[in-house]
Amino acid sequence: MRDQLKAIVADFEAASARLHALKYGLDEEAWGARHGERTWSAAECVEHLNRTSAAFLPLIRGKLAEAPRLTAPRRLRRDPLGFFLWSIMPPPVRLMRVKTSGSFVPVDTEDPDVLCARFDALQAEQIACVTAAEGLAIDKVMLASPFDPRAKYNLYACLGILPRHQHRHLWQAEQAAKTAGAGIAPA
């Protein structure tokens, strides 16, 4: 697999490790605690990530099917919007606090084991999509964000944004846990 795709897979794997370190470092009370009126708990952050992954996966699969084969080895490129989102996404959150659209707002959260098992299953599917992108010109295929259909970026950017989005919300979950007085197990 090309290095650019390996880096995306590594970012997804690091997010999974981060979630599991967080999960095993929290009791159920801390898992559901919010650190402010307008913030989410760790459980709500994971539910949001699960909703996000579930919404993006069908779009990604569809665009993988449309992507042309690379005719010669070359570096993949993010489009301007994709590059911008990719560059501002990692934590800590300094820019672009954006209110999420309704279908991505966590309403009910499940048991931590159920939430994490769902996260793991969705991670495996996303990593499989990255692997399937090998040899494809995924920077030549555009997709519309399920958060806002006006936001369009290429599939290469999308695949890189998703794990960064996960790290952003896992950082938020860690902040909620710290405020709840919970210790966090080392990653």
CATH top class, domain 3-179: mainly alpha
Three-state secondary-structure class, residue 75:
coil
Amino acid at 174: E
What's the confidence (pLDDT) of residue 162? 96
Label residue 187 by pLDDT band (50, 70, 90).
very low
Instruction: Label residue 12 exposed, middle or buried (CB < 10 Å: 0-12, 13-18, 19+).
Output: buried
Cα distances (angstroms) measured from residue 33 to each of 30, 39, 42, 175: 5, 10, 7, 10
Q: What is the DSSP string of 48-72?
A: HHHHHHHHHHHHHHHHHHHPPBPSS
For 3-132, list the strands marked E by DSSP. none
At 31, the pLDDT band (50, 70, 90 cuts) reads: confident
Return d(Cα 65, Cα 130) in angstroms, integer.
13
pLDDT of residue 186: 41
Which of 47-56, 89-98, 173-182 comes out lowest in average pLDDT? 89-98
CB 174 within 8 A of CB 45: no
Q: What is the pLDDT of residue 138?
A: 97
Dihedral sign for Cα atoms in the order 130, 132, 137, 142: negative
- Strand stretches in the chain, DSSP E: 142-144, 152-154
- pTM above threshold 0.85: yes
Quote the pLDDT of residue 24. Answer: 83
Per-residue pLDDT reduced to its tens digit, 108-145: 677 888 899 999 999 999 999 999 999 999 999 999 99
Residue 64 pLDDT: 98
What count of residues does the chain have? 187
Sorted by where each begins, the domain ranges of the chain are: 3-179
Higher pLDDT, 181 or 12: 12
Q: Please say if the pLDDT value at position 97 is more than 70.
A: no
pLDDT digits (tens, 9 = 90+) for 33-91: 777 677 788 899 999 999 999 999 999 999 999 999 998 889 999 999 999 999 988 88
Q: How far apart are CA 180 and CA 187, in angstroms?
A: 19
